[in-house]
Structure 1
Amino acid sequence: MKRVYPNKDFCIGCHICELACLTAHSKSKDLILAYTVERGQNGVASSKHVHEGGATCVALSCRHCDEPSCVAACISGALQKDPESGRTIYDREKCVGCWSCLMACPFGAIARHPLEQKIVKCDLCFDRPGGPACVAACPNKALKQEER
């Protein structure tokens, strides 16, 4: 299964991946509307988060682990491993906002939704032609979607 991997040696902390993710998951698919309107009113959020520490930056998101600890920690069944695609799938309707998955993820790749008692996690832009928006938008190729 292809996953998105960050390369901290090429990340410059521009946060363009976050904006691409936000836009891809918005209703409008327009950067300005997604950022200025939908983010505040509808709680559209990026599942990609750039972490900066000194001169080092890295963009993190769900790794869709082979044996995800978030799935094991999920008390409601909102997180499941899809045996066909290999993706770790999130069903927001089942989520009870207990944050167990957030604490269990070894990569810190799951975040709280900004407006609801839910989580935000990468879905690999499964319905987007061309793959993940973050990978396509990264100007330095610090994000790659590949098999490992």
Structure 2
Amino acid sequence: MKRIKIDRNKCIGCLTCTSACIVSHDSEETRSRVVIDSSGKYAPIFCRHCEKPECVFTCMTGAMHKDKETGYVLYDSKRCASCYMCIMACPYGVLKADQRTKKEIMKCDMCISTKEGTPQCVKKCPMTAITLEEVKE
């Protein structure tokens, strides 16, 4: 399975990753975000697509589910009951309610809906601080 890796030493906080995500998803809100860590450096935070995702286990409707082929944790807004259990269950705090709709959940989907299949944050990072790496589960 592939995961997004961030080298915080290379990140300059340009927010290109956030812009790439917004454009990729054609939305006013972003599915990833950037925070300032304890050392004062900018650091984007993305869904970790956990091996045993708490968000999936707590989702009563199946809106959060783990794709068996890719291993990615995906979200189906049509099945979502907007209970926010997934948000509360995520140990990394990466899931957020969409502030526009107040009903949907925002999370990294690894840009699976794009033609290229490569996360746009990885592709567009000018400092190559964000990479896509194979990890063993």
Give me the whole-angstrom Cα distance separating, in 2, the residues matched to 1:17 and 1:79: 24
Scaled by the length of structure 2, what TM-score is found? 0.89
SS across alignment from 2:123: helix
Q: CA RMSD in A?
A: 1.4
1:49-128 equivalent positions in 2, closer than 5 A: 49-53=33-37, 55-116=40-101, 117-128=103-114
Alignment of 1:137-148 (within 5 A): 137-148=124-135
Letter in 1 for 2:110: L
Equivalenced residues, count: 132
Q: Which runs of 5+ in 2 are unaligned?
A: none
Q: Which residue of 2 aligns with 1:135?
A: 122
CA distance in 2, matches of 1:107, 1:8: 17
TM (normalized to structure 1)? 0.83
Question: Once the 2 structures are TM-superposed, how far is the Cα of residue 46 of structure 1 from its aligned partner?
Answer: 1.3
SS in 2 for 1:71: helix
Cα distance in structure 2, aligned partners of 1:90 and 1:9: 31
Moved over 4 A (4+): none
- Per-residue CA deviation, residues 52-90 of structure 1 (Å, 9 max, x unaligned), is 135222111111111111101212210011111111111
Q: Distance in 1 between matches of 2:113 and 2:25?
A: 10
For 1:59, what is the secondary structure of its paired residue?
strand
* Superposed CA offset, 1:98-145 (max 9, x none): 111112112221111121111011110113215000011111111111
Structure 1 runs not aligned, ≥5 long? 27-37, 40-44
SS of the residue aligned with 1:86? coil
Q: Distance in 2 between matches of 1:5 and 1:114?
A: 26
Q: For residue 79 of structure 1, what is the amino acid of its counterpart?
A: M
Identity %: 38
Q: CA deviation at 1:6?
A: 1.7
Letter in structure 2 aligned against 1:115: R
* Residue aligned with 1:93, SS: helix
Check the 8 A contact 1:2/1:146 in 2, yes or no.
yes
